[in-house]
Amino acid sequence: QKEVEQNSGPLSVPEGAIASLNCTYSDRGSQSFFWYRQYSGKSPELIMFIYSNGDKEDGRFTAQLNKASQYVSLLIRDSQPSDSATYLCAVRAGGFKTIFGAGTRLFVKA
Amino acid sequence: EPEVTQTPSHQVTQMGQEVILRCVPISNHLYFYWYRQILGQKVEFLVSFYNNEISEKSEIFDDQFSVERPDGSNFTLKIRSTKLEDSAMYFCASSDRTKLNEQFFGPGTRLTVL
């Protein structure tokens, strides 16, 4: 069974701090890695994706991938209360099937 | 900004009934997907669809489920003989063929099976 594991949280950080969200996956054949944000009662919204080892930055967000350790992370710099949401890690092993983790709830305190 | 739309927003049905969930993908997108999310649980891939045929499906997508693109704009998910455990939020998503990694999700249809 291919799994994506995340700490359910909640992760609580003060406004302006860096939030660090982590994810591990079981399938070594995974090729594409995604971070989605999901507000309560809403649909997932893609933040960014990464498929090469290393870091990928987009504004306040940085995704980090380490395929040897089967580990993906998302850093959110200068966290804002509006960043409070559930963050979903997802992986794809080629093809179209995307496997999601259960998500980490982030709470940014004003 | 173009967006994926879904109707209805909430569907209530009796166990054993058939339901059709409707989606209008972003107009120039050619890849379509259905996901479901049972309350409090993970988002689960159901099926992907391209060029009028299923390109991949999960083990959840059994004979109870079918998808169709009946015209140039709609994409539907049919659930035959609904069960209590089919109660979930169903999300449609679409992506452009040049940006397959960027899937845009619709707002979802909440299906409640009584």
Distance from A3 to chain B by nearest Cα, in Å?
11
Give the pLDDT confidence of A36-93 residue by residue, as tens digits.
Answer: 999 999 999 999 999 999 999 999 999 999 999 999 999 999 999 999 999 999 999 8
**Sign of CA pseudo-dihedral A24, A27, A32, A36:** negative
Please determine, for residue B2, whether its predicted confidence score (pLDDT) is greater than 90: no
Q: Residues B49-52: contacts with CB within 8 Å, 24+ apart?
A: B49/B75
CA distance A91 to A98: 6
Q: Which of A96, A101, A103 sits opposite B48 (nearest CB)?
A: A96
- Tokens, residue A29: 């054949």
Chain B environment of A103 (Cβ under 8 Å): 42
Give the three-state DSSP class for B84.
Answer: helix
Please determine, for residue B86, whether its predicted confidence score (pLDDT) is greater than 90: yes
Residues written for chain B: 114
Please determine, for residue A31, whether its predicted confidence score (pLDDT) is greater than 80: yes
Tell me B26's DSSP state. Answer: -
Q: CA-nearest residue of chain A to B60?
A: A97
Is A46 close to B45, i.e. CB distance below 8 A?
A: no
Q: Residue B65's pLDDT is what?
A: 98
Omega prior to A10 cis, within 30 of 0 = yes
Query: Burial letters for A34-54: b for 16+ Cβ neighbours within 10 Å, e otherwise?
Result: bbbbbeeeebbebbbbbeeee
Nearest to A92 by CA among B51, B39, B35, B78: B35
Please determine, for residue A1, whether its predicted confidence score (pLDDT) is greater than 80: no
Is B105 close to A49, i.e. CB distance below 8 A?
A: no
CA distance B75 to A57: 34
